[in-house]
Amino acid sequence: MRQQKYKRESEGDKNERKKKLSLAAQIFIALVLAIIAGLLMQNYADFANSYIKPFGTIFLNLVKFIVVPIVLFSIMCGIISMSDIRKVGSIGLKTVVYYLCTTAFAIAFGLCVGNLFKGMFPVVATTDLVYEASEPVSFMDTIVNIFPSNFFDPMVNANMLQVIVMAILLGFAIILVGEEKNSRVIQGFQDLNDIFMKCMELILRLSPIGVFCLLCPVIAANGPAIIGSLAMVLLAAYICYIIHMAVVYSLTVKAIGGLSPLDFFKNMFPAMIFAFSSSSSVGTLPINMECVEKMGVSKEVSSFVLPLGATINMDGTAIYQGVCAIFIASCYGIQLTLPQMLTIILTATLASIGTAGVPGAGMVMLAMVLTSVGLPVDGIALVAGVDRIFDMGRTVVNITGDASCCVVVHNLEKKKEMKNN
């Protein structure tokens, strides 16, 4: 009887494992089918845009709907479970330092590879180019905008930095009030967190459909033709994306995080595919949370590090800016000097704080980078046509960087606790 029971349990475990793997497999199949269907529907791009894309938009809207409550309640519950304001400060400092260091390295790497490929970049005519860049926000305005002036505005506008600040303030206040007075409040927030987590679980079951409906119209509208003369620029960016993930994240995850890079990328696979098809770091947040928790990262770390990363970690975007800055400069016949490249590194690193994790945000940052070294902002029009193709790759790098930070911070905090005990 006991043997049969164990046999049933082991079979149950196998079935559960199959189910877990099946979502990743379904997302991958959806990705492949989307590429094939998109290529076949190149003459029917309007149909794909009118009748397939809306279902992808519905899915993305559902994901975005769940992001704000997930971030708010998961950060609050994470802070409350730590019961120590100093520990929150320790995790926050490690996270910000990691993100800023990897972003600075990413743009420096993008500039290096851009210079290596410069001889192969096409020289595109720059006459009659027009691009209207949105007005850049000053550094001090960015700092001011982090703090909400209204309780509901951050949630209505999905301003992730302000939502994070709200969650931190409320979490700190609950800790300081004392356990005797706030036990019912804590239980209420934990219940709400569980409810929204369950909602997220239900929405993520639709991921394969969402991936197909988001990616198919992009392939149908763009296809291989749009890449055309910019193939070398795209190739340079994607080589940077792959090397940065394979080298930087593998090293940090292995050396500081104590996790096998193969296990890391295997667990990250569903989130990476979703990020590639949606081009939204914020939209990928719920899936990313699930992926890092499978790697053994505690909820108190993931619920704090990932939302912050979706807002300020822009490694992929930094690589894109480095490569595009070199390409745009070469089209205008301008040779960037070392001081100008250092200015680009500094500007892009600081601009990454406060840039919204939504599709197209990289264009705003690129305008700031070009302006900082006196390059014509109109040059963005050269790459605007294929920005979505760049965006798909850079979002994958951004969310993978968020997850690597989670693994690193979790392991450092674990070692710190063991040392103190």
- pLDDT tens per residue, range 94-135: 998 999 899 989 999 999 999 898 888 776 655 555 555 555
- Please state the three-class secondary structure of 149-170 as a single string: CCCCHHHHCCCHHHHHHHHHHH
The pLDDT of 85-92, averaged and rounded, is 84
Mean pLDDT of 169-175: 88
Q: How confident is the model at residue 156 (pLDDT cuts 50, 70, 90)?
A: confident
DSSP string, 259-307: --HHHHHHHHHHHHHHHHHH--HHHHHHHHHHHHHHTT--HHHHHHHHH
pLDDT band at 226 (very low <50, low <70, confident <90, very high): low
Return the pLDDT at 261. Answer: 93
Q: What percent of the chain has pLDDT over 70?
A: 85
Model pLDDT, residue 243 = 94
Helix H or strand E segment including 6: helix 2-40
Identify the pLDDT of residue 404. Answer: 94
Question: What are 116-122's contacts with CB under 8 Å, separation 24+?
Answer: 116/236, 117/232, 117/233, 117/235, 117/236, 117/323, 117/326, 118/326, 118/327, 118/330, 120/232, 121/232, 121/233, 121/236, 121/326, 121/327, 121/330, 121/331, 122/229, 122/230, 122/232, 122/233
pLDDT band for 228, please (50, 70, 90 cuts).
low
The single-letter code of the amino acid at 162 is: Q
Neighbours of 210 (CB within 10 A): 25
Which residues lie closer than 8 Å to 248 by C-beta, 6 or more apart? Answer: 102, 105, 106, 315
Helices (H), 205-245: 207-222, 231-243
Sign of the C-alpha dihedral computed for residues 395, 292, 351 and 172 taken in this order: positive
For the entire predicted model, the pTM comes to 0.79
The whole-angstrom separation of Cα 13 and Cα 159 is 40
Angle at 283 between CA 217 and CA 164, to 5 degrees: 155
Tokens coding 291: 């992926």
Query: What is the distance between the alpha carbons of residues 117 and 235, in angstroms, rounded to a whole number?
Result: 9
User: Does residue 267 carry a pLDDT above 80?
Assistant: yes
Full DSSP string of 26-79: HHHHHHHHHHHHHHHTGGGHHHIIIIIHHHHHHHHHHHHHHHHHHHHHHHHHHH
Q: Half-sphere exposure of 298 toward its Cβ, with a 13 Å CA cutoff?
A: 15
Q: Which of 24-33, 107-116, 366-375, 410-419 has the highest mean pLDDT?
A: 107-116
Task: Choose between 85 and 344: higher pLDDT.
Answer: 344
Q: Which two tokens stand for residue 126?
A: 């720059």
SS3 88: helix
